[in-house]
Amino acid sequence: MHKIPGALVILALLLMSFQQKPSSTKADVDKSRQVHYRQNRAPLKEKPYLELPLGSIQPKGWLEDQLLRMKEGMTGHLDEIYPEVMGKRNGWLGGDGDGWERGPYWIDGLLPLAYILDDNQLKEKVQPWIEWTLNHQTEEGYLGPIPFEKEPEPEPGLQKSMRRDWWPKMVMLKILQQYYEATGDERVLTVLTKYFRYQLQELPKTPLDHWTLWANRRGGDNLMVVYWLYNITGDAFLLELAEVIAEQTFPWTTIFLNEENYNDPATPWHYSQLKRYPFDPEEINALTVSKIGGMHCVNFAQGLKQPVVYYQQHPEEKYIKAAKKALWDVKKYHGQPQGMYGGDEPLHGNNPVQGIEFCSISEEMFSLETMLTITGDMAFADQLEKITYNALPTQAADDFMSRQYFQAANQVEITDRLETSYETEHHQGTDFVFGVLSGYPCCTSNMHQSWPKYVQNLWYATHDGGVAALLYAPSQVTMKVADDVALTVTEETGFPFRETVHFTLTLDKEAAFPFHLRVPEWANNATVTVNGTPWDGEVKNQTAIIQRTWKNGDQVELTLPMTLKSSQWYDFARAIERGPLVYALKIRDEKKTKDRGDHYGPFQEVYALDDWNYALHAEDLDNLSEAVEVVEKDWSGAYPWNLENAPVELKMRGVQLPDWKLVNSAPVFPAWWGGRRDTLVSKEITLVPYGCTTLRITEFPVYNFR
């Protein structure tokens, strides 16, 4: 070995030092900013928007009221309201009772609610579920309720068996991820690493669909947490596991891209028609399973994100295309104006009396939130906004103490005689009534994640050290931007009922960073001002990116003009929309409590006090700006989601159709509209935001007097 003279060593070190100085380029500074929040680790594709730690975003105004109602309602008290499942016998607490999905479903909503509200009482309810799960992992890595040596006898109302099923563990994986983001508890990383090593060993022998089909359909939830852990630990085996999970998951990309989805979309199919993985595309094409219509409605909502989640490891455009085509197809064949789709277990067409399951709303919201951060595609934010501000508020009671298993775009009587549901026979007519256990109890447990996770996705960090507001609601965020600069942004707005969103920035020092604002697809001629001066930048891909040096106290105002429009739906019916909101006929109601003495418990039926059988005038739809009066009512910003508090109304003409009558309690469109023109009378009707209604007509027939 040759010795290098000391002087040369010193010279070499000086040269190396000089060569390293250019490393502080803008690209490297931008890269350093990413460490504030968790970015994808190579080889995963970089994400444009980064989630903030749980608790960074605080709801304000009516949105805070919404979460407090959840705290005082079922979300905060489900262990008392539903003790047979959520009590100490639950298998996720070590008991011999329910050991499948319902317990984790509840905690998946209760935990983010507890940490967003920073509520110690709610945290105390969450903690036993966390502690038992973290402290009872087996040596081999198994996680979850202890399997029975001998399957127990069935017990009414409990899901005691299937304890080894992979599916409910996927819900607990999401819970542990959220818990780590809120607390930094390192035990989570240890337990998840051990569990994922267990999965890598066991899945080749007992694949996702070994015990039930649910894990096979919902493997994207498992995959998502595997990638999350990889981004923290960098353990290479996790990418190997990701490929195994993707291979064993239902082939959503192939199904969604299949042109057969355009044929006979409502034909049901049975899961037994499809063999286990690997899935043969020719077999898929040959079976009716290729038709999007037969899918289970919640599986569709969860499966929607799987191609996009996998896209992070294999960034091929087909995965994004698959998710977008799925949304297009489900809207075309099963869609309703509030952003959801007819799905009363299977997807079931677009008749406006067709039921929509609450679990589908919860899960599609979470899928869209997941897809938005990965792609930065604002079409997903538009869809999320429509569902959240229309379908979501109406399906739970104002006090959050009861809910509908199914809702529909057109519902004017809610009783146990309503017979439009595929599940009517199974649930003795309780699918649409408001109750705790009416319909099926999965939604009683799973409804709680919707609002808290929406709050958690109101704000993001950007990949280049900035801040993004992609969904609008009264809120406040505290975060780091630029080079470790503390930022608080307060958002004051009457959105989605008002057009203006106002932001105030609080900084501990001046800093240069981008501020991203989404411009919804429905907003024409949106404007932005900074400290009162119009911003003249270009909006690209529905995003206004304001790049400047920000100072403490800076003000940004976004104005989103809300234009009236009509959209066409089932049997040429029309719906009225304005901005993000869909409007429905205002129908006062009378509620009656009923208790049949069965296991569904007491529930509420709802009856109309007003006429509901109205059509719209064809000529009015051609000129809505002249035909409709927009009435913005006095509103303090308080809880808006009922008829009494609705912040805005629309006044327009309607014509009453005597031949349109209830069929088994449902406002089914008749095959033919009778009645002489000279006997039909026009009246002024009032429409209110869909989310403020309980009874409603949303899809109106159109009557042409011309």
Q: Could you report the per-residue pLDDT of 616-625, keeping only the tens digit for each?
A: 999 999 999 9
Mean pLDDT of 332-343: 96
Mean pLDDT of 268-282: 40
Highest mean pLDDT among 243-252, 266-275, 672-681: 243-252
Element of type H or E holding 548? strand 543-550
How much is the pLDDT for 679?
78
Mean pLDDT of 318-323: 98
Least reliable range by pLDDT among 149-153, 224-228, 546-550, 694-698: 149-153
Q: How far apart are CA 531 and CA 557, in angstroms?
A: 8
Q: How confident is the model at residue 425 (pLDDT cuts 50, 70, 90)?
A: confident
| 275 pLDDT higher than 50 | no
Q: Are 367 and 343 in contact (CB under 8 A)?
A: no
pTM: 0.92
The model's pLDDT over 511-523, given as tens digits with 9 standing for 90+, comes to: 999 999 999 999 9
Q: Where are the beta strands (DSSP E) in 426-535?
A: 434-435, 459-462, 467-469, 475-481, 485-493, 500-507, 511-518, 527-530, 533-534
What is the four-CA torsion angle of 246, 247, 249, 251, rounded to 10 degrees?
100
Look at the chain and count its residues. 706
Q: How confident is the model at residue 673 (pLDDT cuts 50, 70, 90)?
A: low
How much is the pLDDT for 2?
37
Q: Are 518 and 469 in contact (CB under 8 A)?
A: yes
The model's pLDDT over 175-193, given as tens digits with 9 standing for 90+, comes to: 999 999 999 999 999 999 9
| 676 pLDDT higher than 90 | no
How much is the pLDDT for 259?
79
Q: How confident is the model at residue 16 (pLDDT cuts 50, 70, 90)?
A: very low
Q: How far apart are CA 414 and CA 431, in angstroms?
A: 9
Q: How far apart are CA 93 and CA 243, in angstroms?
A: 32
Question: Which of 238 and 7 is assigned the larger pLDDT?
Answer: 238
Packing angle, helices 120-135 and 102-117, rounded to 10: 130
| CA 574, 579, 580, 585 torsion-angle sign | negative
Assess whether the previous peptide bond of 496 is cis (omega < 30° from 0). yes
Mapped onto helix, strand or coil, the DSSP state of residue 17 is helix
Q: How confident is the model at residue 1 (pLDDT cuts 50, 70, 90)?
A: very low
Q: Are 680 and 703 in contact (CB under 8 A)?
A: yes
Q: How confident is the model at residue 10 (pLDDT cuts 50, 70, 90)?
A: very low
Give me the long-range contacts of 171-174 (CB less than 8 A, separation at least 24). 171/101, 171/104, 171/105, 171/108, 171/221, 172/92, 172/104, 172/107, 172/133, 172/143, 172/144, 173/221, 173/222, 173/225, 174/108, 174/221, 174/224, 174/225
| 327 pLDDT higher than 90 | yes
Residue whose token pair is 């399951």: 357
Mean pLDDT of 54-83: 98
| 5 pLDDT higher than 80 | no
Q: How confident is the model at residue 195 (pLDDT cuts 50, 70, 90)?
A: very high
Q: Where are the beta strands (DSSP E) in 271-388?
A: 356-357
| 291 pLDDT higher than 80 | no
How much is the pLDDT for 30?
40
Q: How far apart are CA 49 and CA 374, in angstroms?
A: 7
| 448 pLDDT higher than 80 | yes
Mean pLDDT of 340-344: 94
How much is the pLDDT for 489?
98
Q: Are 276 and 217 in contact (CB under 8 A)?
A: no
| 353 pLDDT higher than 70 | yes
Query: To the nearest whole number, what is the mean pLDDT of the chain?
Result: 91
| 357 pLDDT higher than 80 | yes
Q: How confident is the model at residue 273 (pLDDT cuts 50, 70, 90)?
A: very low
Least reliable range by pLDDT among 34-43, 492-501, 610-619: 34-43
The model's pLDDT over 542-576, given as tens digits with 9 standing for 90+, comes to: 999 999 999 999 999 999 999 999 999 999 999 99
Residue type at position 107: I
Q: How far apart are CA 562 and CA 564, in angstroms?
A: 7
| 437 pLDDT higher than 90 | yes
How much is the pLDDT for 25?
37
